[in-house]
Amino acid sequence: MRRWTTAPLAVALLLALAACGDGSDDPTTTGPGGPGATDVGPPEAEEPLDAEVVALAPGEPSTRNRREVVVLDPGDPEAAAALFAEDERDDVATAVAGADLDGRTLLGGIVHVGCARASAVFVVVQDDVVHLRSEDLSDLEDGVQCVAATVTSALVAVATDDLPPAYRDPGAGAGDDGGEVAGDVVLVAATGYEAAAVADPGLVRDAVDVDALVGRYGVEEEAPALRSRVETGEEVLVAAVVGEACEPPVGGRVVRVDDGIELVPDHGDPGPDPEVVCDALAQALVVVAVAAADVEGVGTVGSAPADGPVGVGPVHVVEAVDVGAEPLAVVAEDEGGVDAVLAGIAGAPPLDLPPVEGDAVRLVFVVDGCQPGTGELIADLGAGTVRAEVQQVGPPVECEALAPHVVVADLAGGHAGLQPVTG
């Protein structure tokens, strides 16, 4: 067996940092108060359940690119160990076989996928769905670009009475497949790993979405081919960064899962070499063209809401302002905040905006558009800039003249170095 990594030196350093906390190699490392506990806390606003960590180690990527927590049969240690990297499985199976689960349920799943490896796990329940959360790894990952992600998986024992009823039988929580959606692979492009907080681009429906996708991943040469697939409205593009092996995928396919769709990586025939073990996953942007009617009404696309942003951050507001308002592109914080910026824009309405999340950067633009609707942030990675573009909602309308609109958007933290420009 040969061991190799697709990760650059920066990733190797991050992994070393993530692994050198107290107890990081101890499978009993846990969140609140367990043996080998690290000096970390659960995610904010989430009260963790009491849990014993049976195993916390490098994980096996989900073949579905999913993060569901599943209920495992403690009488089948090998099945539980399959969630982990190959060279961890014997130790994990031994830990499962020796675990005292009286009155408790064995849960397993991926805790974290990112540039750094998790060293703690917390079990939280939201809307009767169980999630495994890592400690806050933002200090290790924010602003870091790595070519591939590392996976941390965990097995935890939780009091059965503390779990929602759906999580009390082995095999629960795995999700239901609804079949494959026919489509054509139109793009496979190598890309760096994006942090879990950055949603996949999801559905690309029109030329503005194409510009946002192209700018986010620097695939300008592919823009004409992508635009040609969406220009009639009969097709949309399903786009995601995927990869479940040491070698990058060569394609992908779209499948239905619950009320959404996911893009599953295709690693070719005969698939990844099982004798090759690596420390990180090689990933790629995969884009598949599907009939718009086949994905109408889906709620999610992989990690993204179907109506979420394609580009480098969400757009919150697109509102018309007075004719004659000057073009603008600023970081709100640098100008005294959003309210101060709006005060200088003729005809700008008062806005009720959500708080800025994490290390995102709030931007304010004044750009020309046809009518109020929505918009996208469009990056130019080569130039180090980002601009906003107004996007129509619904059937195209004829414009007699473009008019100025104020656009308020949040640039995702991983792209915070981009400078806002007007065009």
List CB contacts of 164: < 8 A, sequence separation 6 or more.
Answer: 125, 128, 129, 130
Task: Indicate if the alpha-carbon torsion angle 225, 227, 228, 234 is positive or negative.
Answer: positive
Last-in-domain residue among 167, 195, 223: 167
Give the count of domains, the chain: 3
DSSP state of 354: P
Residue 402: inside a domain: yes
**Two structure tokens written together for 25:** 């190699």
The reply to whether 145 and 223 lie within a common domain is: no
Last-in-domain residue among 167, 190, 222: 167
Burial 107-131 (b: 16+ CB within 10 A, else e): bbbbbbbbbbbbbbbbbbbeeeebb
Residue 386: inside a domain: yes
Residue 172: inside a domain: no
The reply to whether 153 and 267 lie within a common domain is: no
The reply to whether 18 and 148 lie within a common domain is: yes
Question: Domain limits at 387?
Answer: 315-420
Last-in-domain residue among 139, 167, 195: 167
pLDDT at 95: 96
pLDDT at 400: 77
pLDDT at 64: 44
The reply to whether 281 and 332 lie within a common domain is: no
The reply to whether 181 and 162 lie within a common domain is: no
**Two structure tokens written together for 75:** 């009488």
User: CA dist 264 to 267, 285, 322, Å?
Assistant: 10, 11, 47
The reply to whether 9 and 104 lie within a common domain is: yes
The reply to whether 245 and 365 lie within a common domain is: no
Residue 310: inside a domain: no
The reply to whether 13 and 151 lie within a common domain is: yes
The reported pTM is 0.66
Residue 371 CB-density burial (10 A; 0-12 exposed, 13-18 middle, 19+ buried): middle
Instruction: Looking at 20-120, list the stretches that DSSP marks H as alpha helix, in order from N- to C-terminal side.
Output: 77-81, 89-97
* Strand stretches in 5-103, DSSP E: 51-58, 70-72
pLDDT at 25: 35
Q: For every one of its 423 residues, what pLDDT tens digit does the chain have, with 9 covering 90 and above?
A: 222 222 332 333 333 333 333 333 333 333 322 222 233 444 554 689 999 999 999 987 654 445 678 899 999 999 999 899 888 999 999 999 999 999 999 999 989 887 788 999 999 998 788 889 999 887 777 666 666 678 899 999 999 999 988 887 776 555 545 588 999 999 999 887 666 556 788 899 999 999 999 999 999 999 999 999 999 999 999 999 887 677 888 999 999 887 889 898 888 876 666 666 676 678 899 999 999 999 998 988 876 788 888 999 999 999 999 988 999 999 999 999 999 999 999 999 889 999 998 888 999 999 999 887 789 999 998 899 999 999 877 666 677 788 999 999 999 877 888 999 998
The reply to whether 150 and 209 lie within a common domain is: no
The reply to whether 234 and 319 lie within a common domain is: no
The reply to whether 224 and 297 lie within a common domain is: yes
pLDDT at 18: 35
Of 219, 237, 217, nearest to 415 (Cα)?
A: 217
pLDDT at 194: 64
